């Protein structure tokens, strides 16, 4: 049977709706869709004119139903087109992942270790001191009871600026400066760069970092020293580390010791790193020599103290299993990016 199109108020509504729906589907931009909307639903459109001319209820209802369906079709298509446009713009901005990566900077491994060390001391209630690097001979040697004949005073071992001035060879100088200025009790950690005329090797560089602790109070003994060292190394390298002391000599401490720590690589079992002893040499320490207290005006009868010092670079090397501390100074990004 021939399909008859419905003609209402002289308008072929079926054809109109079909044409409009096809045009809506074909619109490729919101602007195009707007033009089509005006053509089919605008004030002068066929549909609106027919609606205006409506006299009977049935025709009105038919035309209004067409109008509503078309409006809905326009709205749906509009949302679709807007979504497409947004998607295209996002592609132009390339917010897809991964984007072009910016390389973030990071702290040098020595700086990271230095901050960790500072945190451990702050946790113990110590104050952090970074004194000057250019020092007087008096603060670097004389005040520390260093004999005039000691080889470390020679120009072959130490960088001199002039006869009375040098680049500090250890951070003990900062301890002298603090003791000159303040009365006990004193709990400080001095840390920073130090200089010695050493030939660069896997275990030493002419410029390196030290951390030294100084505690001055009433009744301080070697046991306090050992307890503090143990706490420090357990915080640094994990529980189960032990500290071993061997008698030694420093002009500024009496008695003096050198201390070893359980090798962090083999946990004390013995490996090539610790020469199969299970221990790793860490630094020097001792009970502050009364002669040093006299130099800074403290009464050695009333006050006693301990001091210990070690190289930060070696701690960092141990921590990361770095076989050659010169790597910390070469600034090779392939190395530094790994920390
Ligand atoms: N100042 C010594 C050094 O640089 C280390 C040390 C510090 C030793 C404190 C004893 C006490 O080698």
With a 6 Å cutoff on the Cβ, whether 170 touches ligand 1 is: yes
With a 6 Å cutoff on the Cβ, whether 307 touches ligand 1 is: yes
With a 6 Å cutoff on the Cβ, whether 289 touches ligand 1 is: no
Domain boundaries, the chain: 7-92, 109-336
Indicate which residue's Cα is closest to atom 5 of ligand 1: 309
With a 6 Å cutoff on the Cβ, whether 287 touches ligand 1 is: no
* pLDDT at site 204: 84
Three-state secondary structure along 282-336? EEEEEEECHHHHHHCCCCCCCCEEEEEEEEHHHHHHHHHCCCCCCHHHHCCHHHH
Q: What is the pLDDT along the chain (339 residues), one digit of tens a residue?
A: 444 556 665 678 888 899 999 999 999 988 999 999 999 988 888 888 888 888 888 888 888 899 999 999 999 999 999 888 888 776 667 667 777 778 888 899 999 999 999 999 999 999 999 899 999 999 999 999 999 998 899 999 999 999 999 999 999 999 999 999 999 999 999 999 999 999 988 878 999 999 999 999 999 999 999 999 999 988 988 888 888 999 999 999 999 999 988 887 788 888 877 788 988 888 999 999 999 999 999 999 999 999 999 999 988 888 887 878 888 888 888 888 888
> Among 212, 216, 226, 232, which is best to mutate for testing ligand 1, by the most ligand atoms less than 8 A from CB?
212
> How far away, in angstroms, is 221 Cα from ligand 1 center?
17
Domain boundaries 109-336, CATH class: alpha beta
* Measured CA distances, 71 to 29, 80, 308, 335 (Å): 17, 14, 86, 66
> How far away, in angstroms, is 189 Cα from ligand 1 center?
12
State pTM to two decimals: 0.68
């Amino acid at each position: 049977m021939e399909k008859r199109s419905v003609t209402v108020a002289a308008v072929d509504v079926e054809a109109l709706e079909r044409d409009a729906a096809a045009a809506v589907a074909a619109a490729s931009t919101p602007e195009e869709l707007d033009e089509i909307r005006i053509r089919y639903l605008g004030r002068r459109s066929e549909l609106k004119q027919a609606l205006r001319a409506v006299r009977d209820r049935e025709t009105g209802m038919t035309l209004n139903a067409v109008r509503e369906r078309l409006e809905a079709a326009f709205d749906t298509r509009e949302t679709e087109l807007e979504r497409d446009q947004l998607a295209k713009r996002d592609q132009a901005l390339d917010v897809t992942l991964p984007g072009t990566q910016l390389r973030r900077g990071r702290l040098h491994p020595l700086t990271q270790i230095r901050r960790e060390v500072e945190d451990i001391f702050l946790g113990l209630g110590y104050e952090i001191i970074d004194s000057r690097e250019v020092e007087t001979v008096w603060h670097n040697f004389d005040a520390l009871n260093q004999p005039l004949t000691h080889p470390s005073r020679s120009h072959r071992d130490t960088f001199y600026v002039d006869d009375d001035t040098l680049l500090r060879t250890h951070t003990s100088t900062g301890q002298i400066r603090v003791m000159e200025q303040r009365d006990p009790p004193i709990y400080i950690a001095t840390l920073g760069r130090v200089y010695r005329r050493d030939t660069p090797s896997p275990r030493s560089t002419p410029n390196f970092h030290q951390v030294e602790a100084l505690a001055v109070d009433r009744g301080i003994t070697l046991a306090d020293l050992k307890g503090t060292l143990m706490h420090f190394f357990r915080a640094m390298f994990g529980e189960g580390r032990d500290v071993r002391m061997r008698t030694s000599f420093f002009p500024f401490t009496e008695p003096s010791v050198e201390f070893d720590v359980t090798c962090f690589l083999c946990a004390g079992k013995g490996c090539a790193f610790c020469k199969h002893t299970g221990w790793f040499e860490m630094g020097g320490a001792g009970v502050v020599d009364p002669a040093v207290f006299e130099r800074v005006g403290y009464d050695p009868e009333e006050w006693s103290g301990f001091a210990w010092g070690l190289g930060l670079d070696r701690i960092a090397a141990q921590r990361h299993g770095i076989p050659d501390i010169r790597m910390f100074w070469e600034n090779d990004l392939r190395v530094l990016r790994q920390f």
